[in-house]
Chains A and B, each alone.
Chain A
Amino acid sequence: MTEWEQKFRDDLARDMAFESRLIVKEIYIVAIIIVLIVLRELWL
């Protein structure tokens, strides 16, 4: 494998990892907002 092929693979691995994590983070954020809405309904 050439140096440039290796760089291509390294970039791609990093970028795919970042993009894949986005959906997990989004799910966390939506879950937190739902919890906040439920707490508001219970307390107010």
Chain B
Amino acid sequence: MMVVLSGQPREWSADVVDDEAMAITRRARLTRVLVVLGIVVAGAVVAAVLLPPAPRRTYLIGICLALVLCGVLPLLASLLQYIVVGLHRFFIGYDELHPYYPRVAVVVPAWNEAQVIGTTIERLLAMDYPQDCLRVYVVDDASTDGTPDVVRGWVARVPDRVRHLRRDKGGEGKAHTLNHGISLILAEPWAEALLIIDADVLFEDSALRRMTRHLSRPDVGAVTAYIKEGTARPNYLNRFIGYEYITAQAASRRAQNVFGALACLAGGAQLHSRENLTAIGGRIDTSTLAEDTVTTFRTQLSGKRVVFEANAIVWAEEPGDLVGLWKQRLRWARGNVQISLQFSHMWFHGRKYGALSRALFAFIWFTVLLMPVFMIMVAPGLLGLYVIDSDQAWAVFRSLWIFHAVIYVFTTAMAFTLDPSTARRAWLQGIIFPGLVSLAIIVYSVAPGPIGAALTHGLGMLGIAVTPGLVRASQLFVYGWLAGSMVVAYLAKWLAAHWRWSFPSKVLLCLSGYGAFLCAVTFAAYVREFQRARMTWEKTIKTGKVVVAK
């Protein structure tokens, strides 16, 4: 069956007006936040100037310690999330589930996806799910490649199970494309649930039925799956992403199940009950770059639970180069900044808006969003302490990094436990995830005596004497490293964009750490939002390199 939609739908012009109004509101809120921050900083500086010398010293030490403590917040958030993973069994609600196989309409937005769409449809139809309860709706966003031909081929083979929804004009982004498909599906009574996916994701045989079982609970509105990086011949970056997804999904989203609020339904695998999608307006938000997070928030604000099902596995192709990864993550990070401002009425409001407005969820959300700020704050904190009292600076620095070491060992071991198959594939990237420089600092902080003696001996063999000047320079370097690592990560991306030889950027990324790269992206997102940059939806190129691992 083929449905041709001619021209733009009537509601699109209304969308643009609403989106523009929301953008203006966000700008006003961002200005307010910046003004308040400016007043706080100015107040702190004025107080330092006006105080007499003796209390001023104590005051400045306090300020510096507070800045360094900000660097502990992301570590605490990480520890908190990993530590509750073991309790997930008691919060996932498995005991309350019943067999449930609703009629599922799979919505596949496709814009020039000829290389991947055929395999995706094939995998969807091959899933171990009642055949008469599954239909695939490909929403073809005016593709100009072979996508329509591939989809028409499938429609001809299985007309009852695959449908082709073609738009005449496209390129407005995923949310607009999805809304075309959703409005047509909801106009018919057939679908009891809608599965929204990306055109490149491959579902494991049991993934859908592992998701639908949660909809047997009346309080659950939506379910998401564990999306894994599935490139058949992964490069170093694919492996980093694979390991990152253990932390960002397998661990973090399990923890969010425990806390009772989910930050994001994965855009590539989100299952909604028909009732839920209708309750949140029957459409996907178009006012931000993170439409999946808005859907997640609205579902929970309407009183329904959102569940992450870690055992429903979906494989996706992720960028294999730093420039592609930067573009993808910049879109995600800008979306998160926009959402933080758009939902500003909700944060830290106890249980007024359910678990989403509790301080615990806000703590997790903002430690991720503000991680670059916290990393930058550590540097002036330690350097300020160094100027005031260098011994105290060294003691604080070592305490920070010893804590870092404990968290690193715990989270890495837990990550390997949570997803052993990805751990086998990306064990090296898991170990060097914080970056080689940070790893060296961790090792030195844990055992400064033996490591210091070995370093002195090694440098001596190279003819380099360990002078007080060298020691001071090394101290200043490591004090500033958390902030500096983001600059190195940005340099890695810059080299990748401007130099064909990829080796230097790879080395820089390994030195700075993958986390520093993500922080650099988030910092760039602040800047883009501050500059009021246009919201462009840049498609991540997919080439069909994904396989479903056995």
Residues of A within 8 A of B (CB): 4-5, 7-8, 11-12, 14-16, 18-20, 22-23, 25-27, 29-30, 32-33, 36-37, 40, 44
Compute how far the CA of A40 lies from the CA of B99 in the bound complex, rounded to whole angstroms.
52
Q: Is the CB of B86 within 8 A of A23?
A: yes
Is the CB–CB distance between B99 and A22 below 8 Å? no
Q: A11-B209, A29-B410 are in contact. Are A23 and B89 (CB under 8 A)?
A: yes
Quick check: is B311 within 8 A (CB to CB) of the other chain?
yes
**B209 contacts which chain A residues (CB < 8 A)?**
4, 7-8, 11
Please give me the 4 A-B residue pairs with the lowest Cβ-Cβ distance, nearest first: A23-B86, A26-B86, A8-B99, A19-B89
Q: Are B130 and A27 in contact (CB under 8 A)?
A: no
Chain B min CB distance to A15 (Å): 4
B99/A19 in contact, CB under 8 A: no
What are 23 A-B pairs with beta-carbon distances under 8 A? A4-B209, A5-B99, A7-B209, A8-B209, A11-B206, A11-B213, A11-B311, A15-B94, A18-B311, A19-B89, A19-B92, A22-B86, A22-B89, A22-B417, A25-B86, A25-B414, A26-B86, A26-B414, A27-B86, A29-B413, A33-B406, A33-B409, A44-B447
B517 within 8 A of A: no
Most B Cβ at <10 Å: residue of A18, A20, A22, A25: A22
Q: Is B101 an interface residue (CB 8 A)?
A: yes
Cβ of B447: which chain A residues have Cβ within 8 Å of it? Answer: 40, 44
Q: Is the CB of A12 within 8 A of B417?
A: no
C-alpha gap A23/B449 in the complex (Å): 36
Query: B210 to chain A: which residues have CB within 8 Å?
Result: 11, 15
* A residues near B94, Cβ cutoff 8 Å: 12, 15-16, 19
* Extra inter-chain contacts (7) besides given A26-B83, A29-B417, CB under 8 Å: A7-B128, A8-B213, A11-B206, A16-B94, A19-B94, A25-B414, A26-B417
How long is the Cα–Cα vector from A27 to B87 in the complex, in angstroms?
11
Are A19 and B97 touching (Cβ within 8 A)? no
Q: Which B residues touch A25, using CB under 8 A?
A: 86, 414, 417
Using CB atoms, name the residue of chain B closest to A32. Answer: B413
Distance between Cα atoms of A23 and B413 in the complex (Å)? 13
The reply on B88 being an interface residue by CB < 8 A is yes
